[in-house]
Each structure stands twice: as structure tokens, then as C-alpha cells.
Amino acid sequence: MNAPPICVQGAGVAALCCLRLLEGQAQPIETRAEAKRGRLPSILVSPSTQKLLADIFRVPHLFDGMPRIRQRVVAWCSREPVALPHDAVVVSEDALLQLLNSHLQVPPTHTAAPLDWTIFTARSAPALLSASHCDFGARSAQIHPVDLALHAEPETCWIESCPQGWLFLLTTGPASGSLLSVGDSAASLLATSSLIAAKVQHLHPLAGEFPAHPRTLAQLCAPGWLACGSAAMAFDPLCGEGAGNVAREAILACAAVRAIQEGESVEAVLFEYDARLKLGFLRHLENCRDFYVGDFQTEFWREALRGIEQGLAWTRDQLVTRQSPKFRLVGFALDRIAT
């Protein structure tokens, strides 16, 4: 007998990962509840995330032939720039979604049958609009296309802290780039930049804006539903890689649903799911704190650090009742740890 249907709500990377992971396991349903935001014009996909997505979609050379970033140059806290080797793919969010969509083996179907579980992957899902959210800060990121200066190094990204925020620039073509600014406006930050301003020949009009502070649902799951991807939590782009984060959460969400369908305790699995996501959020906040403790004593950096500290306190408090793990993730499945 087939397992009861599972509903996957959303249309982003997390939703597509869930659909691929659930193929052959249950009857997935996609309701296409689109997130109310524009798509990012360019994102970096690290080698670890490339491998993870290739494993999920079972396509070993998923990212072959895509433009790459080979070098990262960092100027942080007024220190001299440091050039580091890098290896990441540059792709627009639309192109990434099209790529992943093309490797779904079974098109999602719709049914009137009673649902067993719903996996929410978009914060705009109607069932989550009234849910309690915890925001640790209020800063946003703006994205501008730019023309690069003639001397800008190819296949390179740059990151720089400034008194009123920080900048991230990556090459997207022979003479083009994408500039992300957090804090003050891009033009104002470039005026105080000693590294990235020299790489930008022309700043084009704003292409998009999105929240850039850590945030999470207060409740990540309950009997009958789980949240993952942007529905569950969002990370500071300074330390978080969106595609990798949501892919890992999708793996855990699908593994949790399968474990419950195979007879594991709903309470135990959901407790494990909640704790694992919050432990990941805690590690992210701890990494972020190191970057926001710097030598700039301006309101932007003080406010950002306050938000990180509040997030750390909240998350640690949530994990006070954390017990020893009862499951381990083996591949794409949760296995109970023998006692």
C-alpha cells in the first residue's frame, strides 16, 4: 500500500530538493506557493553544495560548464586585502531553479486525498503567514549590477567591511559584476571603500533587495507539518550559503517524514528535527559574531552585533532541553541510534 500523500509547498530550491528526495517514496504534491520576493540575479554555489545538489538530483556533473570564481579577496576590519583561492559556481537563482527542475523525474501531481504531512518551504505559505517569527536585526541587502573596471581580476569575488556596512562584489562576465551592499546605500559604501570601489566602473540601478539578518520561525514543526528552507529560517549572507543551507534542511525534513511513516515516534523525530535545525542556526550565529566584532564603532556594527547576541541567547535558551541525539543521519535517512 502506498504511503499517504505528502504536500510540498513552495517553488524554490528547498521545494525542488524535497520533491526529488521524495520521488519513489510517497506521492508528493506541489502547490506552488511562490515566495513573495524577487529572484537573486547571481549566487555562489560552493563545491560542497555542488556535490550535495548533485547527490540529491543524482546527476554527478550537474554544474559542469558554468562560470566559476577562482579567487576571493577579503579586506575586513581595516586590514590589508588578503587573496585566497576559491572554487565556486556563479549562477542566477532562476537558472539554478530551471536546472534542478529539469532533473525531476516525476512531475508533481495534485490530489484531493487526505494529506499525511506537509513540508512548507516558503515563508509566504498561507499557513505560516500568522506564525510567530523571531528576527535578530533589521538590516537589508541591496543588489546592483555593475560594470567592472578594466583592471578588475577575472573569476574573482571581493568582500570588504566599511564603517557603515559591508560590500560583496563578484564577477558575472568579462566586464560585468553583481554588487551586494548591506547597511548604507551602495553608493555611500563605495565612497568609503578602499578595495571594491576601484573595481567598479559604473553602478547600475537597484536590481533587488532582501532581508539580510538572521531570522527563524519560533516553531519549526508540529504533528502533520515541518518547515524547511526560507519557511523555517534565513541566514545572514555574510556567513550563510542559501542553497547549501536549504538543501541540508530539505534532506532532514524528508528523512524525518520517512522515519515517521516507517513507524518512528512522531514526538521523538520532531524533537530531533527541531534541535538539529536550531543547532545549525546556533553555529551560524556564532560564526557571524566573529565578523561583527570589529574595530568599527558605528551604529550599524553595534546594532548588528546586538541582533546576533539576541539570537544567540534565544537559540541557546531553546536548546536547554536538548537531549542526547536519538537518531543519526545516514545518507538521506534518519536511523535510530542503538541504546
* Nearest residue to 16 (alpha-carbon basis) of 99, 118, 72: 99
3-state secondary structure of 304: helix
Taking only the tens place, the pLDDT of each residue in 232-275 is 999 999 987 889 999 999 999 999 999 998 999 999 999 999 99
In this prediction the pTM is: 0.92
Which domains are present in the chain?
Answer: 6-40+93-136+215-330 (3.50.50.60), 42-91+140-212 (3.30.9.10)
pLDDT confidence of residue 108 = 62
Q: Which residues of 198-230 are buried (b: 16+ CB within 10 A; e: fewer)?
A: ebbeebeeeebeebbbbbbbeebbeeebbbbbb
Most distant CA pair in the chain, distance: 65
Quote the CA–CA distance of 201 and 174 in Å, as a whole number: 13
pLDDT confidence of residue 28 = 66
pLDDT confidence of residue 111 = 59
- Give every residue of the chain whose pLDDT is below 50, as ranges: 1
pLDDT confidence of residue 33 = 60
pLDDT confidence of residue 39 = 83
What does the radius of gyration of the chain's CA atoms come to, in whole angstroms? 21
pLDDT confidence of residue 35 = 53
* Nearest residue to 278 (alpha-carbon basis) of 307, 244, 311: 311
pLDDT confidence of residue 27 = 63
Residue partners of 270: CB distance under 8 A and separation at least 6 = 221, 222, 223, 226, 256
User: What one-letter code names the amino acid at 77?
Assistant: C
pLDDT confidence of residue 37 = 62
Taking only the tens place, the pLDDT of each residue in 69-83 is 999 999 998 789 999
pLDDT confidence of residue 1 = 46
3-state secondary structure of 122: coil
